[in-house]
Chains A and B, each alone.
Chain A
Protein backbone atom coordinates (compact mmCIF):
# COMPACT_ATOMS: atom_id res chain seq x y z
CA UNK A 1 0.00 0.00 0.00
CA UNK A 2 2.72 2.45 1.00
CA UNK A 3 4.59 1.71 -2.23
CA UNK A 4 1.48 2.39 -4.28
CA UNK A 5 0.89 5.69 -2.47
CA UNK A 6 4.53 6.66 -2.91
CA UNK A 7 4.50 5.81 -6.62
CA UNK A 8 1.19 7.56 -7.11
CA UNK A 9 2.24 10.81 -5.42
CA UNK A 10 5.72 10.73 -6.93
CA UNK A 11 4.04 10.23 -10.30
CA UNK A 12 1.76 13.18 -9.65
CA UNK A 13 4.81 15.28 -8.69
CA UNK A 14 6.51 14.38 -11.95
CA UNK A 15 3.23 14.93 -13.77
CA UNK A 16 3.12 18.41 -12.24
CA UNK A 17 6.43 19.18 -13.94
CA UNK A 18 5.23 17.77 -17.24
CA UNK A 19 2.08 19.87 -16.95
CA UNK A 20 4.00 23.08 -16.29
CA UNK A 21 6.03 22.55 -19.47
CA UNK A 22 3.17 21.14 -21.52
CA UNK A 23 0.60 23.84 -20.70
CA UNK A 24 2.71 26.52 -22.36
CA UNK A 25 3.59 24.30 -25.30
CA UNK A 26 -0.05 23.42 -25.76
CA UNK A 27 -1.27 27.02 -25.76
CA UNK A 28 1.55 28.10 -28.07
CA UNK A 29 0.73 25.33 -30.55
CA UNK A 30 -3.02 25.78 -30.20
CA UNK A 31 -3.00 29.50 -30.93
CA UNK A 32 0.13 30.03 -32.99
CA UNK A 33 0.73 26.64 -34.63
CA UNK A 34 4.35 26.93 -33.52
CA UNK A 35 6.18 23.80 -32.38
CA UNK A 36 8.48 25.43 -29.88
CA UNK A 37 11.49 23.17 -29.52
CA UNK A 38 13.19 25.97 -27.57
CA UNK A 39 10.74 25.48 -24.69
CA UNK A 40 13.22 23.18 -22.95
CA UNK A 41 15.88 25.88 -23.34
CA UNK A 42 13.65 28.36 -21.48
CA UNK A 43 13.30 25.76 -18.72
CA UNK A 44 17.09 25.32 -18.50
CA UNK A 45 18.09 28.98 -18.82
CA UNK A 46 15.58 30.01 -16.15
CA UNK A 47 16.81 27.28 -13.81
CA UNK A 48 20.46 28.33 -14.19
CA UNK A 49 19.82 32.07 -13.91
CA UNK A 50 17.78 31.36 -10.76
CA UNK A 51 20.56 29.14 -9.40
CA UNK A 52 23.06 31.97 -10.00
CA UNK A 53 20.79 34.49 -8.27
CA UNK A 54 20.55 32.21 -5.24
CA UNK A 55 24.30 31.79 -4.72
CA UNK A 56 24.98 35.17 -3.04
CA UNK A 57 22.24 34.25 -0.56
CA UNK A 58 23.67 30.81 0.20
CA UNK A 59 24.69 31.76 3.74
CA UNK A 60 21.37 33.31 4.66
CA UNK A 61 17.91 31.90 5.16
CA UNK A 62 17.50 29.11 2.54
CA UNK A 63 13.80 29.92 2.23
CA UNK A 64 14.66 33.49 1.18
CA UNK A 65 17.21 32.20 -1.33
CA UNK A 66 14.65 29.72 -2.68
CA UNK A 67 11.94 32.37 -3.02
CA UNK A 68 14.37 34.73 -4.78
CA UNK A 69 15.29 31.89 -7.13
CA UNK A 70 11.62 31.20 -7.79
CA UNK A 71 10.89 34.81 -8.76
CA UNK A 72 14.04 35.07 -10.88
CA UNK A 73 13.15 31.84 -12.73
CA UNK A 74 9.63 33.05 -13.48
CA UNK A 75 10.83 36.44 -14.71
CA UNK A 76 13.67 34.92 -16.74
CA UNK A 77 11.37 32.38 -18.39
CA UNK A 78 8.84 35.07 -19.29
CA UNK A 79 11.36 37.62 -20.58
CA UNK A 80 13.33 35.06 -22.62
CA UNK A 81 10.12 33.72 -24.15
CA UNK A 82 8.93 37.21 -25.05
CA UNK A 83 12.26 38.06 -26.69
CA UNK A 84 12.25 34.73 -28.52
CA UNK A 85 8.78 35.37 -29.90
CA UNK A 86 9.36 38.98 -30.90
CA UNK A 87 12.79 38.60 -32.49
CA UNK A 88 12.93 35.05 -33.80
CA UNK A 89 9.44 33.57 -34.13
CA UNK A 90 7.48 36.61 -35.36
CA UNK A 91 9.58 37.16 -38.50
CA UNK A 92 8.96 33.52 -39.39
CA UNK A 93 5.16 33.26 -38.95
CA UNK A 94 4.68 32.35 -42.59
CA UNK A 95 7.56 29.87 -42.58
CA UNK A 96 6.85 26.94 -40.23
CA UNK A 97 9.97 25.03 -41.27
CA UNK A 98 12.02 28.11 -40.46
CA UNK A 99 10.37 28.29 -37.03
CA UNK A 100 11.24 24.68 -36.30
CA UNK A 101 14.85 25.16 -37.37
CA UNK A 102 15.19 28.34 -35.32
CA UNK A 103 13.69 26.84 -32.16
CA UNK A 104 15.79 23.68 -32.52
CA UNK A 105 18.83 25.91 -33.02
CA UNK A 106 18.03 27.95 -29.92
CA UNK A 107 17.56 24.74 -27.92
CA UNK A 108 20.94 23.36 -28.99
CA UNK A 109 22.72 26.69 -28.57
CA UNK A 110 21.23 27.27 -25.11
CA UNK A 111 22.41 23.91 -23.79
CA UNK A 112 25.87 24.50 -25.28
CA UNK A 113 26.05 27.98 -23.77
CA UNK A 114 24.96 26.75 -20.35
CA UNK A 115 27.52 23.94 -20.48
CA UNK A 116 30.16 26.44 -21.56
CA UNK A 117 29.30 28.85 -18.77
CA UNK A 118 28.56 26.45 -15.92
CA UNK A 119 30.07 23.15 -16.98
CA UNK A 120 28.12 19.95 -17.47
CA UNK A 121 28.13 18.86 -13.82
CA UNK A 122 24.86 19.29 -11.92
CA UNK A 123 24.59 22.27 -9.59
CA UNK A 124 23.19 21.70 -6.14
CA UNK A 125 20.07 23.67 -5.29
CA UNK A 126 19.62 25.57 -2.04
CA UNK A 127 16.50 24.16 -0.44
CA UNK A 128 14.70 25.13 2.73
CA UNK A 129 14.77 22.31 5.30
CA UNK A 130 11.07 21.52 4.76
CA UNK A 131 11.77 20.68 1.12
CA UNK A 132 14.47 18.21 2.04
CA UNK A 133 12.16 16.46 4.51
CA UNK A 134 9.37 13.94 4.02
CA UNK A 135 5.77 13.69 5.13
CA UNK A 136 4.21 10.43 6.26
CA UNK A 137 1.09 9.80 4.16
CA UNK A 138 -0.86 6.49 4.24
CA UNK A 139 2.22 4.56 5.29
CA UNK A 140 4.54 6.18 2.77
CA UNK A 141 7.30 8.67 3.45
CA UNK A 142 6.72 11.17 0.70
CA UNK A 143 9.35 13.82 -0.09
CA UNK A 144 7.77 17.21 0.51
CA UNK A 145 8.96 18.47 -2.88
CA UNK A 146 6.39 16.16 -4.51
CA UNK A 147 3.61 17.77 -2.50
CA UNK A 148 4.97 21.21 -3.34
CA UNK A 149 4.99 20.45 -7.05
CA UNK A 150 1.47 19.07 -6.99
CA UNK A 151 0.25 22.16 -5.13
CA UNK A 152 2.02 24.57 -7.50
CA UNK A 153 0.73 22.74 -10.59
CA UNK A 154 -2.84 22.86 -9.28
CA UNK A 155 -2.45 26.57 -8.55
CA UNK A 156 -1.04 27.19 -12.05
CA UNK A 157 -3.88 25.17 -13.60
CA UNK A 158 -6.45 27.22 -11.67
CA UNK A 159 -4.73 30.49 -12.60
CA UNK A 160 -4.53 29.54 -16.28
CA UNK A 161 -8.19 28.50 -16.38
CA UNK A 162 -9.22 31.73 -14.66
CA UNK A 163 -7.11 33.71 -17.11
CA UNK A 164 -8.56 31.88 -20.11
CA UNK A 165 -12.17 32.08 -18.93
CA UNK A 166 -12.35 35.44 -17.23
CA UNK A 167 -10.09 37.80 -19.16
CA UNK A 168 -10.31 39.42 -22.58
CA UNK A 169 -6.93 37.93 -23.57
CA UNK A 170 -8.15 34.54 -22.45
CA UNK A 171 -11.19 34.91 -24.67
CA UNK A 172 -8.98 35.91 -27.61
CA UNK A 173 -6.70 32.92 -27.00
CA UNK A 174 -9.60 30.45 -26.75
CA UNK A 175 -11.10 31.82 -29.95
CA UNK A 176 -7.72 31.93 -31.67
CA UNK A 177 -7.11 28.27 -30.91
CA UNK A 178 -10.30 27.55 -32.89
CA UNK A 179 -9.93 29.98 -35.78
CA UNK A 180 -7.11 32.48 -35.80
CA UNK A 181 -8.07 34.11 -39.10
CA UNK A 182 -11.58 34.85 -37.84
CA UNK A 183 -10.17 36.48 -34.71
CA UNK A 184 -8.23 38.85 -36.97
CA UNK A 185 -11.41 39.37 -38.99
CA UNK A 186 -13.02 40.72 -35.82
CA UNK A 187 -10.40 43.47 -35.69
CA UNK A 188 -8.25 41.87 -33.01
CA UNK A 189 -4.47 42.07 -33.20
CA UNK A 190 -3.63 38.39 -32.87
CA UNK A 191 0.11 39.06 -32.84
CA UNK A 192 -0.25 40.72 -29.44
CA UNK A 193 -2.04 37.61 -28.18
CA UNK A 194 0.84 35.52 -29.60
CA UNK A 195 3.33 37.45 -27.47
CA UNK A 196 1.13 37.07 -24.38
CA UNK A 197 0.77 33.33 -24.92
CA UNK A 198 4.47 32.85 -25.57
CA UNK A 199 5.31 34.83 -22.44
CA UNK A 200 2.88 32.80 -20.34
CA UNK A 201 4.40 29.63 -21.75
CA UNK A 202 7.87 30.93 -20.88
CA UNK A 203 6.78 31.77 -17.32
CA UNK A 204 5.45 28.24 -16.87
CA UNK A 205 8.63 26.77 -18.39
CA UNK A 206 10.80 28.90 -16.09
CA UNK A 207 8.73 27.83 -13.10
CA UNK A 208 9.06 24.21 -14.23
CA UNK A 209 12.84 24.57 -14.61
CA UNK A 210 13.18 25.91 -11.09
CA UNK A 211 10.82 23.36 -9.58
CA UNK A 212 12.60 20.55 -11.43
CA UNK A 213 15.75 21.71 -9.68
CA UNK A 214 13.82 21.59 -6.42
CA UNK A 215 12.37 18.15 -7.23
CA UNK A 216 15.68 16.55 -8.21
CA UNK A 217 17.81 18.66 -5.82
CA UNK A 218 20.04 20.03 -8.58
CA UNK A 219 19.95 21.73 -11.96
CA UNK A 220 21.69 20.29 -15.01
CA UNK A 221 22.02 21.44 -18.63
CA UNK A 222 20.12 18.62 -20.34
CA UNK A 223 17.10 18.29 -18.05
CA UNK A 224 14.98 20.68 -20.10
CA UNK A 225 15.57 18.79 -23.33
CA UNK A 226 14.82 15.38 -21.82
CA UNK A 227 11.62 16.60 -20.15
CA UNK A 228 10.51 18.37 -23.32
CA UNK A 229 10.06 15.05 -25.09
CA UNK A 230 7.61 13.85 -22.45
CA UNK A 231 5.90 17.25 -22.45
CA UNK A 232 5.33 17.01 -26.21
CA UNK A 233 3.77 13.59 -25.68
CA UNK A 234 1.54 15.04 -22.95
CA UNK A 235 0.47 17.88 -25.26
CA UNK A 236 -0.53 15.48 -28.04
CA UNK A 237 -2.37 13.12 -25.68
CA UNK A 238 -4.07 15.97 -23.83
CA UNK A 239 -5.22 17.74 -26.98
CA UNK A 240 -3.40 20.55 -28.71
CA UNK A 241 -4.51 23.83 -27.19
CA UNK A 242 -6.20 22.27 -24.17
CA UNK A 243 -4.81 23.23 -20.76
CA UNK A 244 -7.16 20.92 -18.88
CA UNK A 245 -6.31 18.09 -21.27
CA UNK A 246 -2.62 18.70 -20.64
CA UNK A 247 -3.15 18.50 -16.88
CA UNK A 248 -4.98 15.18 -17.10
CA UNK A 249 -2.56 13.73 -19.66
CA UNK A 250 0.45 14.84 -17.59
CA UNK A 251 -0.89 13.02 -14.53
CA UNK A 252 -1.71 9.86 -16.49
CA UNK A 253 1.61 9.77 -18.34
CA UNK A 254 3.71 10.33 -15.22
CA UNK A 255 1.79 7.81 -13.09
CA UNK A 256 1.97 5.11 -15.77
CA UNK A 257 5.66 5.88 -16.19
CA UNK A 258 6.36 5.58 -12.44
CA UNK A 259 4.40 2.37 -11.93
CA UNK A 260 5.84 0.54 -14.93
CA UNK A 261 9.38 1.68 -14.21
CA UNK A 262 8.96 0.22 -10.72
CA UNK A 263 6.86 -2.90 -11.28
CA UNK A 264 8.01 -3.95 -14.77
CA UNK A 265 11.58 -2.82 -15.27
CA UNK A 266 13.43 0.49 -15.36
CA UNK A 267 12.84 2.04 -18.78
CA UNK A 268 9.60 0.20 -19.47
CA UNK A 269 7.62 3.12 -18.05
CA UNK A 270 9.39 5.59 -20.35
CA UNK A 271 8.72 3.35 -23.33
CA UNK A 272 5.09 2.84 -22.34
CA UNK A 273 4.50 6.57 -22.67
CA UNK A 274 5.16 6.26 -26.39
CA UNK A 275 2.58 3.45 -26.54
CA UNK A 276 0.12 5.73 -24.73
CA UNK A 277 0.80 8.37 -27.34
CA UNK A 278 0.18 5.90 -30.18
CA UNK A 279 -3.04 4.71 -28.52
CA UNK A 280 -4.26 8.29 -28.08
CA UNK A 281 -3.55 9.08 -31.72
CA UNK A 282 -5.27 5.92 -32.94
CA UNK A 283 -8.31 6.16 -30.70
CA UNK A 284 -8.75 9.90 -31.16
CA UNK A 285 -7.40 10.81 -34.60
CA UNK A 286 -8.43 14.43 -34.23
CA UNK A 287 -6.83 15.72 -31.03
CA UNK A 288 -9.00 17.94 -28.87
CA UNK A 289 -8.67 21.60 -29.56
CA UNK A 290 -10.60 23.11 -26.72
CA UNK A 291 -9.25 24.82 -23.69
Chain B
Protein backbone atom coordinates (compact mmCIF):
# COMPACT_ATOMS: atom_id res chain seq x y z
CA UNK B 1 0.00 0.00 0.00
CA UNK B 2 0.98 3.66 -0.44
CA UNK B 3 3.67 5.19 1.81
CA UNK B 4 1.47 8.20 2.55
CA UNK B 5 -1.98 6.79 3.27
CA UNK B 6 -5.14 8.85 3.44
CA UNK B 7 -6.19 7.11 6.66
CA UNK B 8 -3.99 5.25 9.07
CA UNK B 9 -5.28 3.25 12.03
CA UNK B 10 -2.83 1.81 14.55
CA UNK B 11 -3.47 -0.46 17.50
CA UNK B 12 -7.20 0.27 17.67
CA UNK B 13 -8.92 -1.29 20.66
CA UNK B 14 -12.65 -0.95 21.23
CA UNK B 15 -15.00 -2.18 23.89
CA UNK B 16 -18.77 -2.30 23.91
CA UNK B 17 -19.93 -2.82 27.46
CA UNK B 18 -17.87 -5.68 28.87
CA UNK B 19 -16.96 -7.06 25.44
CA UNK B 20 -13.53 -6.37 24.02
CA UNK B 21 -14.36 -6.14 20.29
CA UNK B 22 -11.19 -4.85 18.64
CA UNK B 23 -7.78 -6.14 19.78
CA UNK B 24 -5.25 -3.77 18.28
CA UNK B 25 -6.46 -3.31 14.73
CA UNK B 26 -3.92 -1.62 12.45
CA UNK B 27 -4.29 -0.82 8.76
CA UNK B 28 -4.07 2.01 6.30
CA UNK B 29 -6.23 3.18 3.43
CA UNK B 30 -4.52 4.64 0.40
CA UNK B 31 -6.01 7.54 -1.47
CA UNK B 32 -8.41 6.78 -4.32
CA UNK B 33 -10.68 3.88 -5.12
CA UNK B 34 -12.39 1.48 -2.76
CA UNK B 35 -10.81 -0.47 0.08
CA UNK B 36 -12.91 -3.34 1.37
CA UNK B 37 -13.05 -4.01 5.10
CA UNK B 38 -14.17 -7.59 5.08
CA UNK B 39 -14.68 -10.50 7.41
CA UNK B 40 -17.29 -12.78 8.88
CA UNK B 41 -20.21 -11.51 10.93
CA UNK B 42 -19.31 -10.10 14.32
CA UNK B 43 -15.58 -9.66 13.76
CA UNK B 44 -15.69 -5.92 14.42
CA UNK B 45 -16.04 -4.29 11.00
CA UNK B 46 -18.81 -1.86 12.02
CA UNK B 47 -17.07 -1.22 15.34
CA UNK B 48 -13.92 -0.31 13.42
CA UNK B 49 -15.78 2.32 11.39
CA UNK B 50 -17.51 3.65 14.49
CA UNK B 51 -14.21 3.63 16.34
CA UNK B 52 -12.55 5.72 13.62
CA UNK B 53 -15.33 8.28 14.06
CA UNK B 54 -15.29 8.20 17.86
CA UNK B 55 -18.82 6.86 17.99
CA UNK B 56 -17.69 4.06 20.28
CA UNK B 57 -15.19 3.96 23.14
CA UNK B 58 -11.78 3.13 21.76
CA UNK B 59 -8.05 3.65 22.16
CA UNK B 60 -5.35 3.74 19.53
CA UNK B 61 -3.94 6.08 16.93
CA UNK B 62 -5.97 7.34 13.99
CA UNK B 63 -4.49 9.69 11.44
CA UNK B 64 -6.13 11.38 8.50
CA UNK B 65 -3.61 12.60 5.93
CA UNK B 66 -0.92 12.38 8.58
CA UNK B 67 -2.77 14.40 11.23
CA UNK B 68 -3.92 12.65 14.40
CA UNK B 69 -7.71 12.75 14.75
CA UNK B 70 -8.24 10.17 17.50
CA UNK B 71 -8.64 12.73 20.26
CA UNK B 72 -11.18 14.83 18.38
CA UNK B 73 -14.95 14.80 18.85
CA UNK B 74 -16.96 13.02 16.17
CA UNK B 75 -18.10 16.23 14.49
CA UNK B 76 -14.53 17.55 14.34
CA UNK B 77 -13.31 14.24 12.83
CA UNK B 78 -16.02 14.52 10.17
CA UNK B 79 -14.97 18.07 9.38
CA UNK B 80 -11.48 16.74 8.59
CA UNK B 81 -13.00 15.31 5.41
CA UNK B 82 -14.55 11.99 6.43
CA UNK B 83 -18.19 11.08 5.79
CA UNK B 84 -20.17 8.16 7.14
CA UNK B 85 -22.88 6.01 5.61
CA UNK B 86 -24.06 3.89 8.53
CA UNK B 87 -25.29 0.32 8.32
CA UNK B 88 -28.90 1.24 9.08
CA UNK B 89 -28.74 4.35 6.86
CA UNK B 90 -29.89 6.50 9.79
CA UNK B 91 -31.70 9.02 7.66
CA UNK B 92 -33.79 11.43 9.69
CA UNK B 93 -37.24 9.96 9.22
CA UNK B 94 -39.15 13.08 10.25
CA UNK B 95 -37.22 15.36 7.89
CA UNK B 96 -37.79 15.61 4.16
CA UNK B 97 -35.21 14.39 1.68
CA UNK B 98 -34.25 18.00 1.00
CA UNK B 99 -33.86 18.71 4.73
CA UNK B 100 -31.72 15.59 5.20
CA UNK B 101 -29.38 16.89 2.53
CA UNK B 102 -29.46 20.48 3.76
CA UNK B 103 -28.51 19.29 7.24
CA UNK B 104 -25.37 17.69 5.82
CA UNK B 105 -24.23 20.93 4.15
CA UNK B 106 -21.11 22.38 5.71
CA UNK B 107 -20.08 26.00 5.28
CA UNK B 108 -17.00 26.72 3.17
CA UNK B 109 -17.57 23.54 1.20
CA UNK B 110 -18.27 23.18 -2.45
CA UNK B 111 -21.58 21.29 -2.56
CA UNK B 112 -21.93 18.44 -5.02
CA UNK B 113 -25.66 18.65 -5.68
CA UNK B 114 -25.00 18.15 -9.39
CA UNK B 115 -23.23 14.88 -8.71
CA UNK B 116 -25.78 13.49 -6.27
CA UNK B 117 -28.77 14.39 -8.46
CA UNK B 118 -26.92 12.86 -11.38
CA UNK B 119 -26.35 9.68 -9.37
CA UNK B 120 -29.81 9.63 -7.81
CA UNK B 121 -32.27 11.69 -9.91
CA UNK B 122 -35.09 10.29 -7.77
CA UNK B 123 -33.95 12.38 -4.82
CA UNK B 124 -34.82 15.54 -6.73
CA UNK B 125 -38.36 14.42 -7.43
CA UNK B 126 -38.81 13.25 -3.85
CA UNK B 127 -37.24 16.35 -2.26
CA UNK B 128 -40.35 17.22 -0.26
CA UNK B 129 -41.08 13.65 0.85
CA UNK B 130 -40.33 12.63 4.43
CA UNK B 131 -37.35 10.30 4.51
CA UNK B 132 -39.19 7.92 6.84
CA UNK B 133 -41.67 7.14 4.06
CA UNK B 134 -38.98 6.15 1.53
CA UNK B 135 -38.12 2.56 0.63
CA UNK B 136 -34.89 1.04 1.95
CA UNK B 137 -33.17 1.64 -1.36
CA UNK B 138 -34.26 5.25 -1.51
CA UNK B 139 -33.09 5.78 2.07
CA UNK B 140 -29.73 4.35 1.07
CA UNK B 141 -29.58 6.89 -1.75
CA UNK B 142 -30.20 9.69 0.79
CA UNK B 143 -27.49 8.30 3.08
CA UNK B 144 -24.92 8.08 0.28
CA UNK B 145 -25.93 11.47 -1.15
CA UNK B 146 -25.55 13.04 2.29
CA UNK B 147 -22.03 11.66 2.56
CA UNK B 148 -21.06 12.78 -0.94
CA UNK B 149 -22.55 16.25 -0.68
CA UNK B 150 -19.61 18.19 0.73
CA UNK B 151 -16.75 18.69 -1.67
CA UNK B 152 -14.35 18.61 1.29
CA UNK B 153 -15.17 14.99 2.03
CA UNK B 154 -12.25 12.88 0.85
CA UNK B 155 -13.00 9.59 2.58
CA UNK B 156 -16.35 7.81 2.83
CA UNK B 157 -16.84 5.13 5.46
CA UNK B 158 -19.63 3.03 3.99
CA UNK B 159 -21.13 0.28 6.12
CA UNK B 160 -23.03 -2.53 4.37
CA UNK B 161 -24.69 -0.34 1.73
CA UNK B 162 -26.48 -3.26 0.05
CA UNK B 163 -27.85 -4.92 3.18
CA UNK B 164 -31.50 -5.78 2.86
CA UNK B 165 -31.86 -4.37 -0.66
CA UNK B 166 -33.36 -6.08 -3.71
CA UNK B 167 -30.93 -7.19 -6.46
CA UNK B 168 -32.02 -4.35 -8.75
CA UNK B 169 -31.41 -1.73 -6.07
CA UNK B 170 -28.10 -3.39 -5.17
CA UNK B 171 -27.01 -2.89 -8.76
CA UNK B 172 -27.93 0.81 -8.60
CA UNK B 173 -26.08 1.28 -5.33
CA UNK B 174 -22.98 -0.49 -6.69
CA UNK B 175 -23.03 1.71 -9.79
CA UNK B 176 -23.39 4.82 -7.64
CA UNK B 177 -20.48 3.79 -5.43
CA UNK B 178 -18.34 3.03 -8.47
CA UNK B 179 -18.94 6.53 -9.74
CA UNK B 180 -18.50 8.06 -6.28
CA UNK B 181 -15.12 6.30 -6.01
CA UNK B 182 -13.93 8.42 -8.90
CA UNK B 183 -14.13 11.53 -6.70
CA UNK B 184 -13.62 10.19 -3.15
CA UNK B 185 -11.86 7.31 -1.43
CA UNK B 186 -14.18 4.70 0.05
CA UNK B 187 -13.60 2.36 2.96
CA UNK B 188 -16.33 -0.19 2.43
CA UNK B 189 -17.69 -2.73 4.87
CA UNK B 190 -19.57 -5.27 2.81
CA UNK B 191 -20.87 -8.70 3.64
CA UNK B 192 -21.90 -9.40 0.06
CA UNK B 193 -18.56 -10.53 -1.34
CA UNK B 194 -19.60 -10.32 -4.97
CA UNK B 195 -20.30 -6.63 -4.37
CA UNK B 196 -17.02 -6.21 -2.53
CA UNK B 197 -15.22 -7.98 -5.36
CA UNK B 198 -16.84 -5.72 -7.92
CA UNK B 199 -16.05 -2.49 -6.06
CA UNK B 200 -12.89 -2.89 -4.03
CA UNK B 201 -9.27 -2.84 -5.08
CA UNK B 202 -7.64 -3.37 -1.69
CA UNK B 203 -8.90 -5.65 1.05
CA UNK B 204 -8.45 -5.66 4.79
CA UNK B 205 -9.91 -8.73 6.43
CA UNK B 206 -10.75 -8.74 10.12
CA UNK B 207 -10.82 -11.91 12.11
CA UNK B 208 -11.97 -11.90 15.73
CA UNK B 209 -11.11 -8.26 16.29
CA UNK B 210 -7.70 -8.43 14.59
CA UNK B 211 -6.45 -7.82 11.06
CA UNK B 212 -6.07 -11.21 9.41
CA UNK B 213 -5.23 -10.20 5.88
CA UNK B 214 -4.11 -7.10 4.00
CA UNK B 215 -3.69 -7.18 0.26
CA UNK B 216 -5.63 -6.85 -2.94
CA UNK B 217 -9.13 -8.21 -3.42
CA UNK B 218 -7.96 -10.03 -6.53
CA UNK B 219 -5.34 -11.95 -4.58
CA UNK B 220 -7.80 -12.74 -1.83
CA UNK B 221 -10.62 -13.89 -4.05
CA UNK B 222 -8.34 -15.57 -6.54
CA UNK B 223 -6.78 -17.88 -4.00
CA UNK B 224 -9.32 -20.41 -2.72
CA UNK B 225 -7.19 -21.34 0.27
CA UNK B 226 -6.79 -17.69 1.26
CA UNK B 227 -10.49 -16.95 0.78
CA UNK B 228 -11.47 -20.01 2.78
CA UNK B 229 -9.08 -19.14 5.58
CA UNK B 230 -10.12 -15.51 5.95
CA UNK B 231 -13.68 -15.37 4.71
CA UNK B 232 -14.91 -18.91 5.20
CA UNK B 233 -15.66 -19.29 1.50
CA UNK B 234 -15.88 -22.74 0.00
CA UNK B 235 -15.61 -21.30 -3.50
CA UNK B 236 -13.64 -18.10 -3.95
CA UNK B 237 -15.25 -15.23 -5.75
CA UNK B 238 -18.84 -16.13 -5.00
CA UNK B 239 -21.30 -14.13 -3.00
CA UNK B 240 -21.91 -15.03 0.59
A171 contact set on B, CB distance < 8 A:
95, 99, 102-103
CB pair B78 A184 closer than 8 Å: yes
Does chain A have a CB within 8 A of B31? no
Does chain B have a CB within 8 A of A140? no
CB pair A182 B86 closer than 8 Å: yes
CB pair B75 A184 closer than 8 Å: yes
Bound CA–CA A179/B74 (angstroms) = 14
CB pair A187 B78 closer than 8 Å: yes
B146 contact set on A, CB distance < 8 A:
186
Bound CA–CA A171/B96 (angstroms) = 11
Most buried by B among A172, A174, A186, A190: A186
Does chain A have a CB within 8 A of B177? no
Which single member of A178, A181, A189, A190 contacts B94 (CB below 8 Å)? A178
Bound CA–CA A182/B139 (angstroms) = 14
Does chain A have a CB within 8 A of B73? yes
Does chain B have a CB within 8 A of A183? yes
CB pair B55 A172 closer than 8 Å: no
Q: What size tier do the contact residues of chain B reach?
A: 20 to 34
Which single member of A178, A185, A190 contacts B55 (CB below 8 Å)? A185
Does chain B have a CB within 8 A of A36? no
Does chain A have a CB within 8 A of B90? yes
For chain A residues 141-190, which have a beta carbon within 8 Å of chain B?
Answer: 171-172, 174-175, 178-179, 181-190
CB pair A188 B75 closer than 8 Å: yes
B78 contact set on A, CB distance < 8 A:
184-187
Q: How far is the CB of B81 from chain A (nearest CB, A)?
A: 10
Q: How far is the CB of B51 from chain A (nearest CB, A)?
A: 13
CB pair A175 B75 closer than 8 Å: no
Most buried by B among A175, A189, A290: A175
Does chain A have a CB within 8 A of B115? no
Given contacts A172-B103, A187-B106, contact A181 B74 (CB under 8 A): yes
Q: How far is the CB of A27 from chain B (nearest CB, A)?
A: 14
B73 contact set on A, CB distance < 8 A:
184, 189
Does chain B have a CB within 8 A of A103? no
Given contacts A174-B92, A174-B94, A291-B94, contact A185 B53 (CB under 8 A): yes
CB pair B103 A175 closer than 8 Å: yes
Bound CA–CA A172/B105 (angstroms) = 11
Return the CB mask of A248-291 against B: 1 if under 8 Å, else 0.
00000000000000000000000000000000000000000111
B150 contact set on A, CB distance < 8 A:
187
Q: How far is the CB of A14 from chain B (nearest CB, A)?
A: 30
Q: Which residues of B contact A (CB under 8 A)?
A: 53, 55, 73-76, 78-79, 84, 86, 90, 92-95, 99, 102-104, 106, 146, 150
A-B contact pairs, 13 of them (CB 8 A): A171-B102, A172-B103, A174-B95, A175-B92, A175-B99, A181-B55, A181-B74, A183-B103, A185-B55, A186-B104, A189-B75, A189-B76, A289-B94
